Amino acid sequence: MASVLIVDDEVNIRRMVGALLSGEGYDVFDAPDARAGLTLAQAQDPDIALVDLMMPGDMDGLALLEKLRTQFPDLPVVMMSGRAALADAVRATRLGAFTFLEKPLTPESVLLALASALELRQARRTARALREDLGFTSEMVGESAAVHAVRQLVAQVGPTDARVLITGESGTGKELVASALHAASPRRDLPFIRVNCAAIPRDLLESEMFGHERGAFTGATERRIGRFELAHTGTLFLDEVGDLGLEAQAKLLRAIEAREIERVGGGKPIKVDVRIIAATNKDLAKAVKDGRFREDLLFRLNVIPIELAPLRERPGDIPLLIRHFAQRHHARTGQACCEWAPEVVRVFERYPWPGNVRELANIVERLSIVHPGSTVSAEQLRRLLPDSGTTPSEPMRAIPEPEMESSMGLSDALEAYERTLIAHALSSADGNIADAARRLRTDRANLYRRMRRLGLGGGE
């Protein structure tokens, strides 16, 4: 049966409510103050918490509620009080309380509240499992300094309503961070609506964002609710916001500033309460200078900037990501996980991953499907990687400047640089011609020809 934590400084309340719930088959734990209640919650991981608002000590019921919602996001918390003001009830609701019970308590109200809270907890667990099955999760995998920095920012910014602009190359996990911000906020149980700004045709963007009334334009046979209304009280994630046209940017700016929208074909303003999180792989500061993005909109979106590092800058996270994606594939399909030979992991780490984490996830899934339960070899991996099946290698170290005289002509200068470049590639590859050719992104025969022309040894 479900377990219930009762936190109340009144002994009689704990005894009476505990007896009622025990008689209904609940496992009951109780604590006389907020700090003891938090310790008990950490030890027992209850299904529901009943918390009194007014308690002595340095932590009252609202402070306990806030900590419980942070540490146990799926735990429904029912607040109780006999002297609560309306402002207390409102604050408790904003902090994430499931409901508010007034004392003196009645058996019917307590049992009804707990039954509803249990349904909510089960719904949250089911929704989380479905999101994980579909690959939508807020879990950030990695132990690099870059990932730790993002986690810390999410923990600090998530519980606020501050607008966030997430930047980074394609495939670095911008939607994952947006989902983590939503999951860390008081809006976590409310809608999380994603809009891919790059995928919506310009003539339909206003309808998608703000909705339309029936008959607003040809083909509008019924009313449509836009993304802003769908996200009301929750979070609106504007992915690829840098791809919006200037006209759409102006309408988005107005909606953010006025906190209201109008459906296409409707003349009535509609108030909306949404938290805006935006993401882009473009340099919006440069787009502002070029006149392609509104500076005032950038200021509104970029309250808290979060920049995601590309995967090539955090190769130490790759083994963890390989294991994570392989386990996720196993959980989704039931197929046995691959074994990853050490040389395979080294190939993964040396590859530059232009598609970042998304590309890595696709490669791991493909290998898991093609070689279920077997050990993947480095050669099998190389055949799946781009660049015509060549072996990914470690990137070359910084290339030294060639020695050139000020009077040297263009042809001689280019030849000196080419000689330095090839010599450096050969040094990085320990004299291996094939490896040097891969590092230079050319074929071995062409490298041999260039070495002969430049008089470099080994060009026979």
Cβ–Cβ < 8 Å for 345, 320? no
Q: Which of 287, 379, 307 is nearest to 341 (CA)?
A: 379
Q: Provide the residue ranges of all domains of the chain, joining segments of one domain with +.
A: 3-131, 154-308, 313-384, 410-454
The Cβ of residue 422 has, within 10 Å, a number of other Cβ atoms equal to 22
CA angle 376, 378, 384 (to 5 degrees): 85
Per the listing, tokens 């197929």 go with: 335
**Token code pair at residue 339:** 């074994």
Q: How far apart are CA 73 and CA 410, in angstroms?
A: 65
pLDDT one-digit tens code per residue, 302-312: 999 999 999 99
3 state SS of 188: coil
**Token code pair at residue 352:** 């530059």
Give the amino acid at 96.
G
The answer to whether domain 154-308 has CATH 3.40.50.300 is: yes
Tell whether the model's pLDDT for residue 281 goes beyond 50.
Answer: yes
Mean pLDDT of the chain: 85
pLDDT one-digit tens code per residue, 345-386: 888 888 888 889 999 999 998 888 888 888 888 888 888 876
Percent of the chain with pLDDT over 90: 45
Is the link from the previous residue into 201 a cis peptide, with omega within 30 of 0?
Answer: no
**Token code pair at residue 206:** 């206003």
Across 44-53, 155-164, 261-270, 421-430, least confident range: 421-430
**Token code pair at residue 330:** 């196993």
Who contacts 37 (Cβ-Cβ below 8 Å, separation ≥6)?
5, 7, 31, 49, 51, 64
Q: How far apart are CA 382 and CA 385, in angstroms?
A: 5
**Token code pair at residue 179:** 């989902």
Across 82-86, 213-217, 404-408, 444-448, least confident range: 404-408
Q: What fold does the segment set 313-384 form as a domain?
A: Helicase, Ruva Protein; domain 3 (1.10.8)
Q: Do domains 154-308 and 313-384 have the same CATH topology?
A: no
Instruction: Rank 33-47, 83-97, 382-396, 432-446 by mean pLDDT and report only the highest.
Output: 33-47
Whole-model pTM? 0.61
Tell whether the model's pLDDT for residue 389 goes beyond 50.
Answer: no
Percent of the chain with pLDDT over 70: 91
Q: How far apart are CA 268 and CA 256, in angstroms?
A: 17
Report residue 257 CA to chain centroid gap.
26
Strand partners for 50: 6, 78
Regarding predicted confidence, which is higher, 123 or 18?
18
CATH number for the domain formed by residue range(s) 3-131 = 3.40.50.2300
User: If you average pLDDT over residues 117-126, what whole number do you get?
Assistant: 82
Cβ–Cβ < 8 Å for 337, 330? yes
pLDDT at 406: 55
Which class for 11: exposed (0-12), middle (13-18), buried (19 or more C-beta within 10 A)? Answer: exposed
